[in-house]
Amino acid sequence: MTFEKVVGLIDAPFTPFYENGDVNLEPIPAYAQMLHKNGLQGVFINGSSGEGYMLTEEERMRLAEAWIAAAPEGFKVIVHVGSCCVRNSRMLAEHAQKIGAWGIGAMAPPFPKIGRIEELVKYCEEIAAGAPNLPFYYYHIPAFNGAFLPMVQLLQAVDGRIPNFAGIKYTFESIYEYNQCRLYANGKFDMLHGQDETILPSLAMGGARGGIGGTTNYNGRELVGIIQAWNEGNLELARERQNFSQAVINVICHFRGNIVGGKRIMKLIGLDLGPNRTPFQNLTDAEEAQMRKELEEIGFFQRCNQF
């Protein structure tokens, strides 16, 4: 099967919650419009940024329905369907295809740990079969699940075995391995770069065309701008935008990373998405004030996503 490859950046959105922890679907239409306005090409929902493993299956399906209903024309909705129960994952895949998602994806489960390529292939195979008409992406993020497996070997194993295997969301530090995956079978598979801090080297060495990011929620204009500057041959501007994006990441690393600190930044730019679910430790008011100060010091609010 041949699928359209992603060009540009897809956002990994946060899941909005009410103060009591219930899922809040109300912000999603405005959220989708804001991302689209700032140059994002779609969303990869219910993943790590969206606290997907902390949602019930019903909540995940409701979120998928809400995002598809809110998506502007041409805006891709990829649904993360991975879970510790492969039967639940397949059910979520079936649901995503039924409601008109653009694609599906799944990371390896945090339990049980997957330690062999065949185990991972079988996991992906069962899930992908639930949505045979949609592109399936494996979400490679070994820091979350301990699945430190060679991705070229995964491509070799799925090639010809999983008909709708489209590619990998590659969220790992090895630009070398990313490039080797890009080169496999003359670029057969779609390799979506997954680390906002290294978009520029992925373009220069890995020939990336698309990616999925988390800081794109609030810094998407600059991250999209890296690709634009590179395509225009303006390396100095691309470097400046990449360095600024790293400065933003340096700030959120002081405040428990993108899932916690980044989600609170959404409030600071005008879209309050509520708290994180337990066991995440939400920012205190004092931490929020300090984060705002550090963002102001790097000129963030003059360059961030705009409504």
Widest CA span in the chain: 54
Candidates 137, 169, 218, 263; catalytic one: 169
Preceding amide of 112 cis, omega within 30: yes
Which of 137, 150, 128 shows the shortest CA–CA distance to 190? 137
Distance CA 250, CA 259 (A): 14
In the residue annotation, 188 being an active-site residue is answered as: no
Task: Return phi, psi of residue 8, to 5°.
Answer: 100, -170
Task: Return phi, psi of residue 120, to 5°.
Answer: -70, -40
Helices of type H across the chain:
28-37, 57-70, 86-99, 117-128, 142-145, 151-158, 175-183, 199-204, 216-231, 235-252, 257, 263-268, 285-297
In the residue annotation, 31 being an active-site residue is answered as: no
Candidates 31, 123, 137, 139; catalytic one: 139
| Positive or negative: CA dihedral 223, 227, 230, 232 | negative
**Neighbouring residues of 155: CB distance < 8 A, sequence distance ≥ 6:** 168, 181, 184, 185, 188, 189
Which of 271, 276, 254, 275 shows the shortest CA–CA distance to 35? 271
Distance CA 120, CA 34 (A): 36
Distance CA 20, CA 18 (A): 5
Task: Return phi, psi of residue 139, to 5°.
Answer: -100, 100
Q: Which residues are tagged catalytic?
A: 139, 169
